[in-house]
Amino acid sequence: MENLHELLVNRRSIRRYTTQEVNADDVRLILEAALMAPTSKSSRPWQFIVVDDKEMLERLSQCKPAGAAPIAKAAFAVVVAVDPTLTDPWVEDGSIAAAYMQLQAADLGIGSCWIQVRGRFMADGITPAEEHIQELLQMPDTLPVLCVMTFGYKDEERRPCDTSKLLWEKVHIGTWKDVE
Ligand SMILES: Cc1cc2nc3c(=O)[nH]c(=O)nc-3n(C[C@H](O)[C@H](O)[C@H](O)COP(=O)(O)O)c2cc1C
């Protein structure tokens, strides 16, 4: 286990996975991370659908024409859905849970990638990507899908973050002002 800073430096989105399966204990730890994530007023408005069936993963990857290919080759994916009737910051609540899963996965040496679903459309440009997912997974059509998180052992090397290139100009100390 790395320390948290090293883990943050080394975590990169991984979109290519080996065929090695992730053992059930590690899948469980990743979901535990999601379930421990903070939520506004502790509303815990999320639902997580774990998918490891290869054919289903392939079909889910067709939810949008670009940027969803990693789903097809993932060892497993977690569909993150959030009920907006339970809390107004539902996007934030779902996002934090998704990020927690990525960090837990990274700590286990498992690669991951966020695949955006909210606000995205299928190849026809009209059908919301989430409709495809809701239908395939027999979900309520009233439950928005935020993203699909893909997980698997890395089949690509990514360079760690270059901390010398961090955008410190985005940080303002005390008041809004440009960094000299
Ligand atoms: C809100 C959000 C949406 C994203 N959507 C996608 C996506 O649909 N497909 C994809 O391959 N990567 C997606 N990513 C991953 C980003 O492209 C990636 O995090 C970014 O390029 C920075 O790279 P890094 O994660 O390796 O540091 C998304 C990330 C976030 C946070």
CA 82 – CA 145 distance, rounded (Å): 7
Measured from the Cα of 70, ligand 1's closest atom is: 11
CA 24 – CA 27 distance, rounded (Å): 5
Measured from the Cα of 64, ligand 1's closest atom is: 8
Q: How confident is the model at residue 1 (pLDDT cuts 50, 70, 90)?
A: low
Is 178 part of a structural domain of the chain? no
Provide the Cα torsion 70, 110, 11, 65; round to 10°: 10
Contact by Cβ (8 Å): 35, 47: no
pLDDT score of 45 more than 80? yes
Is 83 part of a structural domain of the chain? yes
The amino acid at residue 144 is: P
Query: pLDDT digits over 129-145, tens only?
Result: 999 999 999 999 999 99
End-to-end CA distance of the chain: 38
Is 71 part of a structural domain of the chain? yes
Mean pLDDT for the chain?
97
The residue to mutate among 73, 91, 113, having the most atoms of ligand 1 within 8 angstroms of its beta carbon, is 113
Length of the chain: 180
Nearest CA to ligand 1 atom 6: 115
The residue to mutate among 15, 100, 116, having the most atoms of ligand 1 within 8 angstroms of its beta carbon, is 116
What are residue 154's DSSP bridge partners? 17
The Å distance, Cα 148 to ligand 1 centre, comes to: 11
| Residue numbers of the domain that contains 87 | 4-170
Query: pLDDT digits over 61-100, tens only?
Result: 999 999 999 999 999 999 999 999 999 999 999 999 999 9
Count the domains in the chain. 1
- Which protein residues are within 6 Å of ligand 1, measured from CB? 12-13, 15, 67, 70, 113-116, 158
CATH code of the domain in which 60 resides: 3.40.109.10
The Å distance, Cα 115 to ligand 1 centre, comes to: 7
The amino acid at residue 11 is: R
The Å distance, Cα 164 to ligand 1 centre, comes to: 21
Query: 147 in helix, strand or coil?
Result: strand
Is 176 part of a structural domain of the chain? no
Is 130 part of a structural domain of the chain? yes
Phi (first) and psi of residue 22, to 5 degrees:
-95, 130
Instruction: Quote the percentage of the chain above a pLDDT of 70.
Output: 98
Measured from the Cα of 120, ligand 1's closest atom is: 8
Is 144 part of a structural domain of the chain? yes
> Would strands 46-51 and 111-116 be described as parallel, antiparallel, or unpaired?
unpaired
